[in-house]
């Protein structure tokens, strides 16, 4: 059950808005075009808005149509209704294309677009965003796991296109289709993990640990603070984590439920170094400047992480964010220049299906 909002937007000659007679004609011509979908409409209210703009509200027995008409010629209309069939649209794509053609012909529109219905407050949220805040709709069928841990809200959604998908604090994290993410983080095919000492910071979904173990490292230590993530993934994302989360210690790996920062500080005191350190934690934040709690956290993690990497030969590996977030990536690279140990870096990118965008991955070498 959900509300549906269908946006109908088009542009006309501004005179059709500013001239009262032409504006009335526009409304009289528009209403019959949408009534095949809404049923007979009755005008409920009309008013003038600030700046000479206008608003009209229509209603049928089951739907409303709200219109805004702007002095620059933009007309926005929204058809709204409530439905028990969340994924059944009363104005389908073919209907929308037909309506677009009718509007273009009737009003000689320079721009016209009818979008699919936006689902309002369904029981299972289908909407997430890209890294640069574009709206993405997923074909979600159900939530198969949910737990509010001490640290975050942990959910696993089932989607038709991507399989099960880990969602943390309402942000998509990893789906069963996202091997390209894990291989991008590993820089698969360009790094040799055989016989190496590896540290994973985060990585609670188990995907990175599972793929690394296939390359026969000497030993992998994984530290994640939230056992609820690992519990959910070992129950519902076996295709991602295999059996490596069934027990937290094996012949060549150990999973520690704890604070990665505290453990790294201990490693620094001990003088312990790793061939590879993976930062599989916070994404690069989107902000006007590299300041704030998330930037501070990221700086702390990378600053400590690079101190436990073997200089000259070892690498700190991390994901960043979508390739379109150029400002954030530039600020991240600036952060690398302010670490306490000097580093050099390379950057690669891979399309991640479950994110519906291409992401950047960094390989950071601590200078000898």
The catalytic residues are 280
Contact between 111 and 10 (Cβ < 8 Å): yes
CA separation for the pair 331, 290 (Å, rounded): 6
Asked whether 139 and 148 are in contact (CB, 8 A), the reply is no
DSSP state of 258: S
CB 24 within 8 A of CB 43: no
Helices of type H across the chain: 15-18, 20-38, 93-107, 179-186, 207-213, 227-236, 238-241, 260-270, 293-307, 326-336
Residue 191 burial by Cβ neighbours in a 10 Å radius (0-12, 13-18, 19+): middle
Closest Cα partner for 6 from 88, 126, 109, 69? 88
Contact of 67 with 75, CB cutoff 8 Å = yes
DSSP state of 243: T
Quickly list DSSP for 158-219. Answer: EETTTEEEEEETTEEEEETT-HHHHHHHHTTTT---TT-EEEEEE-TTSHHHHHHHTT--SE
Query: CA 53 to CA 278: how far, in whole Å?
Result: 55
Three-state DSSP state, 32 = helix
The answer for residues whose C-beta is within 8 angstroms of residue 232's C-beta and 6 or more apart is: 145, 147, 154, 155, 156, 166
């Amino acid at each position: 059950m959900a509300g549906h909002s269908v946006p109908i937007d088009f542009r006309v000659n501004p005179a059709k808005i500013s001239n009262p007679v032409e504006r009335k004609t526009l409304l009289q011509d528009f209403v019959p075009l949408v009534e095949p979908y809404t049923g007979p409409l009755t005008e409920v209210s009309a008013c003038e808005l600030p700046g000479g703009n206008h608003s009209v509200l229509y209603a049928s027995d089951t739907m409303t149509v709200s219109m805004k008409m702007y002095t620059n010629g933009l007309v926005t209309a929204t058809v709204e209704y409530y439905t028990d069939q969340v994924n059944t649209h009363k104005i389908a794509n073919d209907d929308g294309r037909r309506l677009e053609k009718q509007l273009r012909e009737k009003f000689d529109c320079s721009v016209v677009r009818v979008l699919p219905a936006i689902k309002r407050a369904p029981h299972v949220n289908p909407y997430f965003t890209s890294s640069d805040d574009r709206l993405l709709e997923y074909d979600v069928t159900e939530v198969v796991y949910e737990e509010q841990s001490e640290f975050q809200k942990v959910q696993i959604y089932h989607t038709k296109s991507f399989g099960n998908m880990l969602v943390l604090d309402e942000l998509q994290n990893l789906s069963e289709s996202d091997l390209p993410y894990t291989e991008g983080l590993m820089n698969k095919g360009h790094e040799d993990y055989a016989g190496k000492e590896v540290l994973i910071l985060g990585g609670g979904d188990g995907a990175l640990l599972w793929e690394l173990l296939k390359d026969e490292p000497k030993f992998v230590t994984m530290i994640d603070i939230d056992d609820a993530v690992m519990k959910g993934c070992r129950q519902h994302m076996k295709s991602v984590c295999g059996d490596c989360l069934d027990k937290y210690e094996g012949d060549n790996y150990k999973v520690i439920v704890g604070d990665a920062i505290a453990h790294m500080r201990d490693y620094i005191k001990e003088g312990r170094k790793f061939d590879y350190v993976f930062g599989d934690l916070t994404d690069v934040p989107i902000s006007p400047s590299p300041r704030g709690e998330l930037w501070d956290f990221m700086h702390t993690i990378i600053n400590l992480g690079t101190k436990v990497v073997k200089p000259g030969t070892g690498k700190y590996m991390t994901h960043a964010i979508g390739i379109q977030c150029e400002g954030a990536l530039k600020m991240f690279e600036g952060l690398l220049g302010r670490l306490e140990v000097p580093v050099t870096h390379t950057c690669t990118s891979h399309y991640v299906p479950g994110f519906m965008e291409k992401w950047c991955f960094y390989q950071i070498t601590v200078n000898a």
